[in-house]
Amino acid sequence: MTKVAIIGAGSAVFAYEIMRDVLVTPGLDAGTFALVDIDGERLELAHHIAEKLIAATGRNWSVEASTERTQVIAGTDYLINTIEVAGMANVRHDFDIPMKYGVDQCIGDTIGPGGIFKALRTLPAWLDILRDTERLAPGALVMNYTNPMSLTCLTGVRASPLPIVGLCHSIQNTQEQVAGYLGVPPRDLKFRSAGINHLAWLLDLTYQGEPMYPRLREAAKDPAIYEQDPIRFEMMLHLGAFVTESSGHFSEYVPYFRKRPDLVAKYTRPEYLGETGFYANNWPSWRAEADDWIRQMIAGTAELELERGPEYASAIMAAVETDTPTVIYGNVPNTGLITNLPQDGVVEVACLVDEKGIQPTYFGALPAQLAALDQAHMAVHDLVATAILEQNREAAFYALMLDPLTAAVCSPAEIRAMFDEMAATEAAYLPDWMRL
């Protein structure tokens, strides 16, 4: 019997998608879902939708739930981390304070001031989860979905002997988007991808043996196509490869597009294409709408969706349980996988999965210009992980100093003032060592 623990299951839509995928995947016929969240009301929603899914699929699965993880995670085979620490209380601070200093964020939850402070709130809780898992489920394979992805994985692998893989949907989504721009079937578009999360790159792009980058550069001349992804097309045209994160979110990773109002106006578009404050302005309503949708499915007024989605978790479980090899893209320690990125960091590469678990594959060297962008962020990741593991406030400040967008906008003194203001404003949700 397979046991799957979902930590942060109160994010009921995400828990729903993972459980649905498991329940419709061949080879995962029986088991237990252990759902954990500190919000009892949202946990109850996740519990009810789990029961609804099990009944609808007829699979031999059971579900248990608790606000105290140590009551339910013992013996877990797969632990899935989806926690959000004090996000609702700080989403405005993570956007508003940096914006006051000129740092214009669209999403702001994986990098930049918002992402760094989200990490400082989240990673202490993540380390506690790993310690409990080491004690109660030492054989568990840990899958992380929590952002900031690279920071969460890096801190985890430095602190714990557990096998940890970070999972994102950006590469599979990008494959589908680029295939659409090219007018070819997504499953027939071949590529290699490597880098770091949200800064991985599609390389060796071909269709039926034909190189596709000439055709993609030609497609970018069509305004109807260019306007669907302006910033990613700009990066491809000038740096030679298509990046795997959306235009809006990716724009925060580089110093080129958000450092002046005229550039924001020229290159960004509404919503996920770069809208200023898009995440902060909409997340509270998105969360309410998601919970309402779950309630409707529980009540039977909305239809259950029972088709497997793009997330990798169920595919990993099936590959391990049935020893059926599959390939996923995972965030894993860089043990010589990408030769020109730091070897003590976390990278995103293709991984083989079978009964032996996650087996990352060798990529080699990235083109130098792409590696340089990734290296800059891996330095930020290293400093944040150091801050958490050594309880070193100054290392966290240095991380913000090196953030490419922040450095493009602010002086060192302004970055120090921003850092101190965010730390003071969010003090109730940060570790004690972050206080002045």
Task: Give catalytic residues, as residue numbers.
Answer: 169
Helix residue ranges, H only, 107-246: 112-136, 149-159, 170-182, 213-219, 223-226, 230-239
Cis peptide before 163 (omega within 30 of 0): no
The radius of gyration of the chain's CA atoms, rounded to the nearest angstrom, is 21
**Burial letters for 136-165: b for 16+ Cβ neighbours within 10 Å, e otherwise?**
bbeebbbbbbbbbbbbbbbbbbbbbebebb
What are 126's two structure tokens?
A: 């993540």
Counting every residue written for the chain, the total comes to: 436
What stretches of 140-229 adopt beta strand conformation (E)? Answer: 141-144, 164-166, 189-196, 199-207, 210-211
What stretches of 366-424 adopt beta strand conformation (E)? Answer: none
CA distance 297 to 393: 45
Helices 40-57 and 12-23, packing angle to 10 deg: 20
CA distance 40 to 286: 20
CA distance 64 to 335: 37
- Please state the separation of Cα 38 from the chain's center in Å: 21
- Name the amino acid, one letter, at 303: E
